[in-house]
Amino acid sequence: MTENPVMLDPHLVKERAEEAQEHLTHCDLCGWECGINRLEGKLGVCKTGELAYISSFGPHHGEENPLRGWRGSGTIFFAGCNLRCQYCQNYEISQLYQGYAVTATQLAEIMLHLQAMGCHNINFVSPSHVIVPILQALAIARPKGLHLPLVYNTGGYDSLSALKLLDGIIDIYMPDMKYGNANLARKYSRIPNYPQINQQAVKEMHRQVGDLILDENGIAQRGLLIRHLVLPNHIAGSEQILKFIAEEISPNTYLNIMDQYRPLYLAHQYPELNRRITLREYQDVIELARSLGLNRLD
């Protein structure tokens, strides 16, 4: 089944960018809803002001099959994060904030450059805290010919306020679903109410774009793709998450159950996290997914 990505109205993007800018005066653009005035230079949990910081960009061939295709996913890695995962696999970028500031114009040029390189999509990695500069950049890039599907590649701690601003603009949502237990989320990622906020966000994402749609070459055009990282000792709560997806999202959900956990960053401080997962732990999650009717696995 095929469907073209959303054809963005440049006026809509500009209006959303202006509306999003207003949210910075009382920021509620991620699950924290800090309420601070970022336009006055105040910093919340994400430690980000008005400008986006990026660590790198380019065609990425390590993403899911429908995203990377044969020309790569046009990824833009944003520095900073609204999560504090103690085992973060990219902690240099997310926690140590390694990157450089870009203006909206510069960010727009990066998007157009990735399109010119032949990438299949524009993939915003860790975008939750920088949706304002993203929207501002899209308002510049769209009239200049940007037409690729837009991927919102998020840790899943997103507010409904932010997702409302992105409705009709983002083509492909790719959230993590990290935890099924709020207490474990607070312990290992320092975030409150993760399952509740994450689940309501994923529901809204699916309402906007539906199940993942591929073109005749197997390249994603629109829809929802969920990632779930298996953690040692059942810490992620995979059973709760998979049941939620099967029962409250869709059994046709495209799902990447990931096995690449490594004990990085501060994981050594937690004995229960200080090892890689076993093959049995991973296979158990795969088998559970299939038993729930989730067979669209990456």
Q: What pLDDT digit, counting tens, does each position of 120-162 carry?
A: 999 999 999 999 999 999 999 999 999 999 999 999 999 999 9
- CA 161 to CA 32: how far, in whole Å? 11
Specify whether the CB–CB gap between 32 and 44 falls below 8 A.
yes
Quick check: 4 pLDDT over 60?
A: no
* Cα-Cα-Cα-Cα dihedral sign, residues 171, 2, 198, 168: positive
Number of domains in the chain: 1
Tokens 């992620």, residue?
236
Any domain includes 297: no
Any domain includes 33: no
Any domain includes 39: no
Any domain includes 2: no
Any domain includes 34: no
The residue segments making up the domain with residue 59 are: 10-21+50-291
Considering only CA atoms, which of 3, 1, 2, 16 is closest in space to residue 169? 16
Any domain includes 192: yes
- CA 229 to CA 140: how far, in whole Å? 35
Q: What pLDDT digit, counting tens, does each position of 236-280 carry?
A: 999 999 999 999 999 999 999 999 999 999 999 999 999 999 999
Q: Which two tokens stand for residue 60?
A: 């990425």
Q: What CATH number has the domain bearing residue 120?
A: 3.20.20.70
- Please give the residue that has the higher pLDDT: either 49 or 205: 205
User: Which strand (E) or helix (H) includes residue 287?
Assistant: helix 279-291
Any domain includes 4: no
- CA 220 to CA 211: how far, in whole Å? 11
φ, ψ of residue 102 to 5 degrees: the values are -130, 145
Any domain includes 40: no
Quick check: 182 pLDDT over 70?
A: yes
User: Which strand (E) or helix (H) includes residue 134?
Assistant: helix 131-141
φ, ψ of residue 37 to 5 degrees: the values are -95, 95
The mean pLDDT value for 220-233 works out to: 98
Q: What pLDDT digit, counting tens, does each position of 14-48 carry?
A: 999 999 999 999 999 999 999 999 999 888 888 88
